């Protein structure tokens, strides 16, 4: 998407510099910084410390990391060590394991001298595939928005609530939850977005609000607790969120707080959709609440917030008494029964094993979903 007049992806390979580059998201919205990632440690730190974040982008970053590793040392030992180190960076987003498995699966079958080139090509493909998946998600999601818009009075916007940042910054481009919004704007549909701030790291306030502003999408920032009230008062027509891991049965793991939005949406008959590219589906997991590992992050993220002082300095402030212990589960699981539908690159389906099997018959063998690959 565009930043000013320039089209950016969130990660790219700069041929001139022979370097992988990212937008360092820790500084947004106040500063736009592009940094190169060179060593394995650079890539691992960028994922762990959330210079890049969002499940699809984490996957793409890991793929580029493996490609760079193969340039340095294409041995099996290095392949396995890199897989382990990168996999340990963030436990919940399944796209990380998906991308690492894609790379290792391909490279294991090749002689060492061919690995660097093959890995580079596959990493670029994984990026491009993500962009195309998200474009398709946008087109399918657009039809949902179009139907709601058709029932509106002239001039009335379709009010969409989103949580966290499942925008282009969370993917390689377009975003998952935001892609239908961007497509709706392009189609001339009047949309208005409620952007949840998304404590503790405020990805909504810092990233989604920035994206919406950059692309001229009408929006308001709301506190995380406002969603239920707005739904009770008919001010939310639709919720669209992203996901970090969706089970074979349609349970959705996403940023902490998503579950509460889904409960409020159910209570108020507001359609609740989840947008995802298929690498976010974990075909091995059946019960999301019981089986998905939930990342516990540093309590500093809860006890402090980052913001801009009036003099323009970006800084952190503590918001609680000295020594207050923080608890910081980063994700929660929304059971499939609370979800109206899953918006994937292949279309929209029910959040259930049957719904997913209809869209992904290639993942179903003798009535059982295939686990690997």
CB of 321 to ligand MRU, least distance (A): 26
Candidates 48-56, 73-81, 186-194, 360-368 — which segment interacts with ligand MRU by CB under 6 A? 48-56
Given 22, 23, 37, 55, the residue binding ligand MRU (CB under 6 A): 55
Distance of CA 307 to the CA centre of its chain: 23
Residue 17 neighbours by CB distance under 10 Å:
9
DSSP classification of residue 296: B
Contact between 242 and ligand MRU by CB under 6 A: the answer reads yes
Candidates 33-41, 50-58, 185-193, 337-345 — which segment interacts with ligand MRU by CB under 6 A? 50-58
Count residues near ligand MRU (CB under 6 A).
18
Closest CB to ligand MRU among residues 19, 27: 27
Identify whether 225 is preceded by a cis peptide bond (ω within 30 of 0): no
The values of phi and psi at residue 357, to 5°, are: -65, -35
Distance CA 120, CA 117 (A): 5
CB of 175 to ligand MRU, least distance (A): 7
Q: Map the footprint of ligand MRU across residues 109-168, applying CB under 6 A.
A: 164-166
Pattern of binders to ligand MRU over 274-313, x per CB under 6 A?
----------------------------------------
Find where tokens 């320039």 sit: 6
Closest CB to ligand MRU among residues 57, 116: 57
Contact between 243 and ligand MRU by CB under 6 A: the answer reads yes
Given 244, 251, 282, 345, the residue binding ligand MRU (CB under 6 A): 244
CB 139 within 8 A of CB 183: yes
The catalytic residues are 244
DSSP classification of residue 185: H
Residue facing ligand MRU at closest CB distance: 242
Token pair of 81 as six digits: 């060590």
The values of phi and psi at residue 359, to 5°, are: -80, -25
Distance CA 106, CA 41 (A): 23
Closest CB to ligand MRU among residues 116, 173: 173
Contact between 60 and ligand MRU by CB under 6 A: the answer reads no
CB of 317 to ligand MRU, least distance (A): 21
| Beta pairing class for 245-247 and 281-282 | parallel
Candidates 8-16, 223-231, 238-246, 364-372 — which segment interacts with ligand MRU by CB under 6 A? 238-246
Candidates 65-73, 118-126, 240-248, 284-292 — which segment interacts with ligand MRU by CB under 6 A? 240-248
Segments of 209-351 assigned E as strands: 219-222, 238-241, 245-247, 252-255, 272-275, 281-282, 304-308, 314-318, 331-334, 341-344, 347-349
Contact between 227 and ligand MRU by CB under 6 A: the answer reads no
CA–CA–CA angle 123, 129, 133 (5° rounding): 150
CB of 61 to ligand MRU, least distance (A): 11
Work out the end-to-end distance of the chain between its first and last CA atoms, rounded to an integer number of angstroms.
Answer: 30
CB 229 within 8 A of CB 240: no
Q: What are the residues whose beta carbons fall under 8 Å from the beta carbon of 193, sequence distance 6 or more?
A: 159, 160, 161, 162, 181, 208, 212, 217, 218, 219, 220
The values of phi and psi at residue 167, to 5°, are: -100, -170
Given 1, 22, 54, 340, the residue binding ligand MRU (CB under 6 A): 54
CB of 50 to ligand MRU, least distance (A): 6
DSSP letters for 144-169: HHHHHHHTSPTTPPEEEEE-S--SGG
Closest CB to ligand MRU among residues 207, 353: 207
Distance CA 22, CA 13 (A): 9
Q: Map the footprint of ligand MRU across residues 158-217, applying CB under 6 A.
A: 164-166, 170-171, 176, 203
Q: Map the footprint of ligand MRU across residues 252-271, applying CB under 6 A.
A: 254-255
Candidates 49-57, 145-153, 184-192, 224-232 — which segment interacts with ligand MRU by CB under 6 A? 49-57
Binding site for ligand MRU (CB under 6 A): 53-56, 164-166, 170-171, 176, 203, 241-244, 254-255, 330
């Amino acid at each position: 998407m565009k930043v000013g007049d320039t089209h950016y992806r969130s990660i790219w390979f700069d041929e001139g510099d022979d370097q992988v580059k990212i937008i360092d998201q820790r500084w947004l919205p106040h500063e736009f910084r592009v940094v190169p990632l060179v060593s394995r440690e650079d890539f691992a730190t960028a994922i762990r410390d959330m210079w890049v974040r969002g499940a699809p982008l984490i996957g793409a970053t890991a793929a580029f990391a493996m490609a760079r590793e193969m340039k340095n040392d294409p041995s099996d030992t290095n392949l396995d060590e890199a897989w382990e180190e990168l996999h340990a960076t963030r436990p919940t987003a399944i796209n990380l394991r998906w991308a690492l498995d894609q790379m290792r699966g391909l490279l294991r079958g090749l002689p060492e001298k061919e690995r660097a080139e093959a890995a580079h090509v596959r990493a670029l493909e994984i990026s491009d595939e993500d962009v195309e998946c998200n474009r398709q998600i946008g087109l399918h999601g657009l039809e949902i928005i179009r139907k709601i818009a058709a029932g509106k009075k002239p001039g009335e916007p379709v009010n969409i609530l989103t949580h966290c940042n499942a925008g282009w910054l969370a993917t390689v481009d377009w975003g998952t939850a935001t892609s239908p919004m961007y497509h709706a704007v392009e189609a001339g549909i009047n949309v208005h977005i409620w952007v949840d701030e998304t404590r503790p790291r405020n990805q909504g306030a810092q990233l989604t609000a920035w994206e919406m502003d950059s692309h001229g999408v009408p929006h308001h920032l709301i506190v995380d607790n406002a969603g239920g009230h707005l739904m009770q008062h008919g001010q939310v027509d639709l919720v669209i969120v992203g996901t970090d891991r969706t089970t074979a049965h349609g349970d959705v793991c996403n940023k902490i707080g998503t579950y509460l939005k889904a409960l409020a949406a159910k209570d108020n008959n507001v359609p609740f959709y989840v947008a995802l590219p298929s690498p976010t589906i974990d075909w091995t997991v059946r019960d999301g609440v019981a089986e998905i590992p939930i990342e516990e992050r540093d309590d500093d993220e809860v006890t402090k917030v980052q913001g801009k002082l009036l003099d323009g300095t970006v800084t952190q402030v503590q918001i609680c008494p000295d020594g207050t212990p923080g608890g910081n589960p980063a994700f929660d699981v929304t059971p499939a029964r609370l979800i109206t539908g899953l918006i994937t690159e292949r279309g929209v389906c029910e959040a259930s094993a049957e719904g997913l099997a209809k869209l992904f018959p290639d993942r179903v063998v003798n009535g059982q979903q295939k686990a690997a690959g």
